[in-house]
Amino acid sequence: MTRLLPLLITALLSFQITLASLSTFDSWPHQRIQLPDVSIHFRYFGSGPPILLVHGFPQHSLTWHTIGPILAQNYTVIAPDIRGMGDSSLSTSGNYTAHAAGTDLKAILDFLDITQTYVYAHDKGVGLATSLALEHPALVKRIILSEYVLPGYGYTTEVTSADLYQNWQLAFFAVPDAAAFFIQGREKEMLSWYFFHASYSGTAAISNDYLTRYANELAKPGFLHSGLMYFAAVWDDATYFESAFGQGEGPRRLSMPVLVLGGEASLAQWPVGEEWKKVGVSVSQDVIPKAGHWIGDENPEWSARRAAQFFGEDGGIPAVDLAGLTDVVNLIEQ
């Protein structure tokens, strides 16, 4: 505990959370951009340097309903729905690889004329964010990667026992047609088990209201299947990352500072930081206390403070002002 005091005191002094002044995520403005094979929806709020928040499965941008408003007190926060999830559309190409979905993130930043950003990614969003950082290292100044290891670098679909609490669902979800057949019509039951399975606090991890909202998104025609396609893409993702980090005269690496986060009841129990050190030159790791996989629901204040501390250690990037988007029409030519 003594070892943690300097970190906690620094975080508290540099980033105060005023609960009464927090925005409500559902009240954040929306924006939508049309790309060649998908329409991407995102929310945004705040002022200051930009932070791009990238969610995973089975959630959508609502993942950030707690962490986002805290960070938006000091930053401009952008929270997209990745392709095939939330209020973004299904991909007409059917491509849900990390590289393809990572190009959507670049398109959002290009649309907003953002030339440098911080990134905070969770679960499957980590693969997308890693692709963005790998392909555009000058764009991503610092990056937080929570609760995920890359295909080719620790991610496995192997089922080694009948233990209910191992991650057998990674193999099950990777066959989308079969998984969707068994889950369709029982989305809420599946999510209730999934959130419990990977939590610290058990069934209290996700409220019934948010459980229903996540289930409703997956129950839309085609959206359960599209979410599962991120799992089916892991073999293509492994090929991509293994090739990308190994090409050229010497191995490529993530050149920006990387913070790897794991919940104490989840990935922090494995040496995931060692896997990330294989692909990054400046990798640090921390444990999210009193949390499993669902960091935004189980310990959002600690997660937001730690993010603010990590981003605050940087020399700074230009602030952005997105107020001008309010009356922008961009889906049709005028």
User: For residue range 77-104, what is the model confidence (pLDDT) as tens digits?
Assistant: 999 999 999 999 999 999 999 999 999 9
Q: Is the dihedral of CA 35, 27, 57, 86 positive or negative?
A: negative
Q: Is residue 175 part of a domain?
A: no
Q: Is the model's pLDDT at 20 over the cut of 90?
A: no
Average pLDDT rounded to a whole number, residues 172-191: 97
* Residue 315, amino acid: G
DSSP code per residue over 160-207 = -SS-TTS-THHHHHTSHHHHHHHHTT-HHHHHHHHHHHT-SSGGGGS-
Mutual angle of helices 300-312 and 5-14, in 10-degree steps: 80
- Collapse the DSSP code of 264 into the 3-class scheme (helix H, G, I; strand E, B; otherwise coil) and give the result: coil
Q: Count of domains in the chain? A: 1
Q: Is the pLDDT of residue 251 over 80?
A: no
Q: Cβ–Cβ contacts within 10 Å for residue 169, how many?
A: 17
Instruction: Please report the pLDDT score of residue 165 as a whole number.
Output: 83
d(C-alpha 213, C-alpha 215), whole Å? 5
**295-312 pLDDT, tens per residue?**
999 999 999 999 999 999
Q: How far is CA 109 from CA 67, 158, 191, 208, 213, in A?
A: 20, 36, 31, 34, 27
Is residue 4, in this structure, part of any structural domain at all? no
| Stated length of the chain | 334
Considering the domain boundaries, does residue 204 fall inside one? Answer: no
Does position 205 have pLDDT exceeding 60, yes or no? yes
Measured distance CA(226)–CA(218) in Å, rounded: 9
51 belongs to a structural domain: yes
Average pLDDT of the chain is 92
In DSSP terms, 77 is beta-bridged to: 45, 51
In a domain, 59, yes or no: yes
Cis preceding-peptide flag for 69 (omega within 30 of 0): no
**Residue 168 within any structural domain of the chain:** no
CA 237, CA 153: separation in Å to the nearest integer? 11
Separation of alpha carbons 217 and 332, rounded Å: 26
User: Which CATH number goes with the domain that contains 82?
Assistant: 3.40.50.1820
Question: Cβ neighbours of residue 40 under 8 Å, at least 6 residues apart?
Answer: 32, 33, 80, 81, 83, 88, 89, 104, 107, 108
Distance from C-alpha of 148 to C-alpha of 131, rounded to nearest angstrom:
14
Has residue 248 been placed in a domain?
yes
Q: Are the beta carbons of 77 and 61 closer than 8 angstroms?
A: no
What's the Cα-to-Cα distance from 60 to each of 176, 193, 197, 265, rounded to whole Å? 18, 18, 19, 22
Q: What is the pLDDT of residues 111-157, one digit of tens each?
A: 999 999 999 999 999 999 999 999 999 999 999 999 999 999 999 99
Q: 111: exposed, middle or buried (C-beta count within 10 Å: 0-12, 13-18, 19+)?
A: middle
Residue-number span of the structural domain to which 62 is assigned:
28-161+236-327
* 10, two tokens: 């620094």
* Residue 203 placed within a domain: no
Q: What percent of the chain has pLDDT over 90?
A: 84
